[in-house]
Amino acid sequence: MTDGRKTSRSQAWFGAQGRSGMLYRSWMRNQGLGAEVFDGRPVIGIANSASELAPCNAHLTHVAEAVKRGVWQAGGLPLQFPTMATGETLMRPTAMLYRNLMAMEVEELIRANPLDGVVLLSGCDKTTPAMLMGAASVDLPAVMVTGGPMLNGKYRGQDVGSGTHVWKFEEDLKTGRMTEEECFFAEGCMARSNGHCMTMGTASTMACMAEALGMQLPGSAAWPAVDSRRMETAQAAGQRIVRMVEEELRPSQIMTREAFENAVRVNAAIGGSTNAIIHLTAIAGRVGVDLSLQDFDDLVRAVPTLVNLMPSGKYLMEDFCYAGGLPAVMAELLRGELLHREPITVTGRSVAENTENAECFNSDVITALDAPFQPAGTGTAVLRGNLCPDGAVIKQSAASPHLLTHRGPARVFDSPEAYHAVADDPELDIDENTVIVIRNAGPKGYPGMPEVSNVPLPGKLLKAGVKDMVRVCDGRMSGTGYGTVILHVAPEAAAGGPLALVRDGDPVVLDVPNRTLSLDVDEAELARRRQTWRAPAERYTGGYTWLYTQNVEQADRGADFGFLRGSRGHEVPRDSH
């Protein structure tokens, strides 16, 4: 370009002279692109995680078409490219194992190609953080468009929530309230359109986090996947990214410490997934923002839960959308001075400018600060104690109030499978006061830190009418799950955390009001046990899983790879030919 502006990044490719330029342009022209598109206009990558193996993302190619329209309209050149998709429902041993791999792929693809900016299309749980992590580590202008939730599930006239009702149906099946045939029918009713889970599970939560961080357009998290306004917002994002390239508005300017503080508070207000803690921590690590596990407790103490959505409440994402969506929540938090007003967002405007005047259209779905769905201090709590020196997490709103202070004997299982093998044994030596300890489900131990922590209650207790019990685990819980479940225990058992030392019958003391989780066993005894503890043998000697187990950090650090922290920028000094 010769108009005095800085030569764009893509012009290092398409504007090149001689043989190099010919190589870069000629093959692109096989797609029917005219010579004029290489004139220095912003080249916008559309990172598309559509996949039929990740059903929540399967429709993203349609969303990409809308983004493309917007990019063309604004004078950019859109180029769509596929990324891997970490589908929550199918991938074994857990999609979380592959979040970091997807983040690496996104980062490398953006950097290696002639792009000036990127639109990130995500949907299912891990795809949103993976894309934000990757984009943050390149730090080219980026805007996210999540694919939107499915329509509300409907079964026999009732709303059914994806994920949340799987647990309910399972319990109903076990206790004879539902037949196999009814369950089979109901599973279809739970997923009646394109889109991601329509509960406030991890996908909806992370879509809201992307919006709260300022990385997606206001209102964009909530439009159902099949609502035409989803396409409208995607088109607007396509237009906006072209301007962002011109303004050089980068993720590092948007995702500041203040933006993360906003996101943490918004997560509390929406009753969001505990998984957001791990993902936000990992994203923060990529932009060099210091966000500690303790922040997730300290920052939310004054924030009530405003949003009445499953799994904590009764409504679903469609209702949330029609009630005004995230802008209505943020407007209310701004009124209570619970958010920073100034952080800049992808719109080029501040949080306050974007959302201050947003209206709420249904105060039963999005409640007001003076009549909140759940009072302040009942959201996610971060626990410490000799059982979790580096912290553990409990989602109070999904737990039973009477169990938040509890003392009971541990019954220890070395894997979720070990528990499942005996869970329905009528002779099982567990009563409702028992604390079920599931270990070796952490990042290294499983590996990949799966969503297995909220194991169903023992069959005999379910039949006896017991609704909840304390469970302690170094794994995660689905954002759609519920129960008095202590998650993310760090360090994990497989890394030698104290969870590895627990034995059957040890008294476990949970005191959520005082934020403690401890083992009432004296230190000398624990030291003796530690002497005989042996790290589990290495199971992996090669491949990605080996890379993962060697490099994954603990839950309190976001379970990213240590070597992926920080930004590596977008310079590529050497030519390919």
Q: How far is the CB of 216 from Mg ion (least distance, A)?
A: 20
203 binds, among Mg ion, ligand FES, none (CB under 5 to 8 A by kind): ligand FES
Kindly identify the residues of this chain, within the stretch 148-207, that bind Mg ion according to CB under 5 A: 202
276 sits near ligand FES (criterion: CB under 6 A): no
Tell me, by CB under 6 A, how many residues bind ligand FES: 11
Kindly identify the residues of this chain, within the stretch 71-90, that bind ligand FES according to CB under 6 A: 88-89
Whole-angstrom distance, CA of residue 36 vs CA of residue 44: 16
Whole-angstrom distance, CA of residue 129 vs CA of residue 103: 8
Give the amino acid at 545. T
The b/e string for 186-223 (b: 16+ C-beta within 10 A; e otherwise) is bbeebbbbbbbbbbbbbbbbbbbbbbbbbbbbbbbbbb
Q: How far is the CB of 102 from Mg ion (least distance, A)?
A: 15
Q: Which of 37, 47, 50, 56 binds ligand FES (CB under 6 A)?
A: 56
125 sits near ligand FES (criterion: CB under 6 A): yes
Q: Which is nearer to ligand FES, 162 or 518 (CB)?
A: 162
Q: How far is the CB of 162 from ligand FES (least distance, A)?
A: 6
- HSE-up of residue 433 (Cα within 13 Å, Cβ side): 9
Q: How far is the CB of 197 from ligand FES (least distance, A)?
A: 3
Q: How far is the CB of 138 from ligand FES (least distance, A)?
A: 25
Considering all CA atoms of the chain, what is the largest pairwise distance in Å, rounded to the nearest integer? 81
319 sits near Mg ion (criterion: CB under 5 A): no
- Cis peptide, bond prior to residue 55, ω within 30 of zero: no
201 sits near ligand FES (criterion: CB under 6 A): yes
Q: How far is the CB of 479 from Mg ion (least distance, A)?
A: 5
Radius of gyration over every alpha carbon of the chain, rounded to an integer in angstroms: 24
The β-bridge partners of 305 are 374
Q: Sheet containing 117-122: which strands, arranged edge to edge? A: 77-82, 43-48, 117-122, 142-146
Give the per-residue contact string, 140-169, with ligand FES (x = CB under 6 A; - = no): ----------------------xx------
Give the amino acid at 84. M
How open is the CA angle 360-276-112, to the nearest 5 degrees?
Answer: 110
Q: How far is the CB of 150 from ligand FES (least distance, A)?
A: 9
The β-bridge partners of 506 are none
Give the per-residue contact string, 54-93, with Mg ion (x = CB under 5 A; - = no): ----------------------------------x-----
125 sits near Mg ion (criterion: CB under 5 A): yes
43 binds, among ligand FES, Mg ion, none (CB under 5 to 8 A by kind): none
Contacts of residue 576, Cβ cutoff 8 Å, sequence gap at least 6 = none
Q: Which of 478, 484, 518, 554 binds Mg ion (CB under 5 A)?
A: 478
Task: Map residue 358 onto helix, strand or coil.
Answer: coil
Give the amino acid at 553. E
Token digits for 517? 């989780």
Whole-angstrom distance, CA of residue 84 vs CA of residue 80: 13
> Under a CB-based contact definition with an 8 Å cutoff, are residues 70 and 234 in contact?
yes
Q: How far is the CB of 89 from Mg ion (least distance, A)?
A: 8
Q: Which is nearer to Mg ion, 125 or 468 (CB)?
A: 125
80 binds, among ligand FES, Mg ion, none (CB under 5 to 8 A by kind): none
The secondary element (H helix, E strand) that includes residue 189 is: helix 180-189
Task: Map residue 383 onto helix, strand or coil.
Answer: strand
Specify the pairing of strand 507-511 against strand 405-413. Answer: antiparallel
230 binds, among ligand FES, Mg ion, none (CB under 5 to 8 A by kind): none
The b/e string for 121-135 (b: 16+ C-beta within 10 A; e otherwise) is bbbbbbbbbbbbbbb
197 sits near ligand FES (criterion: CB under 6 A): yes
Q: Which is nearer to Mg ion, 198 or 410 (CB)?
A: 198
77 binds, among ligand FES, Mg ion, none (CB under 5 to 8 A by kind): none
Tokens 């647990």, residue located? 167
Binding segment for ligand FES among 193-201, 326-334, 365-373, 526-534 (CB under 6 A)? 193-201
Q: Which is nearer to ligand FES, 89 or 193 (CB)?
A: 89
Q: Which is nearer to Mg ion, 83 or 478 (CB)?
A: 478
Tokens 């990409």, residue located? 64
How many CB atoms neighbour CB 37 within 10 A?
A: 18
Q: Which of 132, 138, 143, 203 binds ligand FES (CB under 6 A)?
A: 203
58 binds, among ligand FES, Mg ion, none (CB under 5 to 8 A by kind): none
Contacts of residue 181, Cβ cutoff 8 Å, sequence gap at least 6 = none
124 sits near ligand FES (criterion: CB under 6 A): yes
- Which stretches of the chain bind Mg ion, using CB under 5 A? 88, 125, 202, 478
- Which stretches of the chain bind ligand FES, using CB under 6 A? 56, 88-89, 124-125, 162-163, 196-197, 201, 203
